[in-house]
Amino acid sequence: MKIIYSSKHKLHNPAYEVYDMQQAPYAEVPERIEIIAKKFRQENAGEFIAPKSFPISHVEKVHHKNYIEFLKNKSKSLKPTDNFFASYFTTDTYAPMTKDTFVAAKESADIALTGAELLENGEKLIYALCRPPGHHSGAYNMGGYCYINNAAVAAEYLSAKGKVAILDIDYHHGNGTQQMFYDRDDILYVSLHADPREKYPYITGFKEETGIADGVGFNINYPLPVDASEILYKKTLQQAIKNIKKFNPNFLVISAGFDTYIKDPIAAFKLTIPFYKEIGLQIASLQLPTLVIQEGGYFVSDLGDIAWSLVKGLSFC
């Protein structure tokens, strides 16, 4: 396995989010990535690689140019202590901008792209330690701790070489990713997540959302009870794996969120650390070149063990 990592994510460290009109601690903290990187180093999980810098045109294939310009210029204009909430280009109050948000978000996208390029060149398993995460960021919006959609940027890059399946196992529906590929038949999006009637992002993630135009049938949502058990999760994942097998892609991108963990402070699924190995084994059964993109997960002290458990399953491929 190769691991793509950069310390630049630490530059993005917002002071707070706004929840129910109140300032609340920002859950998407730099330690999230550091603890996974530390665990991977301890376990000799693989070779650490720094990201290459890719032209912004790769990002602008899935994001609106005006949005990216805004993200870049507004970030740069902020003072080091600013915690700025955009109004026009955001879907919620969970993605404030700081002075270096663009620098960190672009580096995160470069981490994903570096992984995608390695996959294209024949690597079988890449772990992209992306932060900030991406799957709630749509063509022209930030939201839910996300600014640039790393998984989508990587999938778009890989789609030039073959069909791509994205399997999203974060607790929340990847509304941004769904939106970007909703009319495409060359990129399959499959997501297991908490029922959006009760959980963020609330407005998307329903099973009736199956795609439009050429994309009909290439968007598959599995909303689950907000406190889903491992048994139900496993059964649903098996179904998702079947969907991917049928699609017969050349590449697999995993939006790997660990807020499905039983102790996660903002979620309520019941998945335990050993169960992530089971998830990895099921994914490995597809025998596809696989790019893991880090998304959410907020019980920080256990994130390294969760990621390592997932990798132990994936490594069987």
Q: What is the DSSP letter of 291?
A: E
User: Where do contacts with Zn ion occur on this chain (CB under 5 A)?
Assistant: 170-172, 257, 259, 296
d(CA 149, CA 155): 10
Residues belonging to the active site: 136
**Smallest distance from Zn ion to CB 219, Å:** 18
**Smallest distance from Zn ion to CB 12, Å:** 17
d(CA 103, CA 29): 16
d(CA 177, CA 188): 10
In this complex, which beta carbon is closest to Zn ion, that of residue 132 or of residue 257? 257
d(CA 195, CA 170): 12
d(CA 203, CA 176): 12
In this complex, which beta carbon is closest to Zn ion, that of residue 27 or of residue 187? 27
d(CA 53, CA 62): 17
In the bound state, the residue with its beta carbon closest to Zn ion is 296
159: which 2 tokens? 């789609």
Question: Mapped to the 3 state alphabet, what secondary structure does 190-229 carry?
Answer: EEEEECCCCCCCCCCCCCCCCCCHHHCCCEEEEEECCCCC
**Smallest distance from Zn ion to CB 172, Å:** 4
Q: How far is CA 98 from CA 6, 13, 156, in A?
A: 18, 8, 27
Q: What is the DSSP letter of 44?
A: T
In this complex, which beta carbon is closest to Zn ion, that of residue 172 or of residue 184? 172
In this complex, which beta carbon is closest to Zn ion, that of residue 155 or of residue 169? 169
**Smallest distance from Zn ion to CB 136, Å:** 8
SS3 97: strand
In this complex, which beta carbon is closest to Zn ion, that of residue 143 or of residue 296? 296
In this complex, which beta carbon is closest to Zn ion, that of residue 12 or of residue 172? 172
**Smallest distance from Zn ion to CB 41, Å:** 25
**Smallest distance from Zn ion to CB 128, Å:** 17
What string of DSSP letters covers 47-89? Answer: EEEPPPPPPGGGGGGTS-HHHHHHHHHHHHHS-TT--BPPSTT
d(CA 126, CA 291): 5
Do 284 and 314 meet the contact criterion of CB atoms below 8 Å apart? Answer: yes
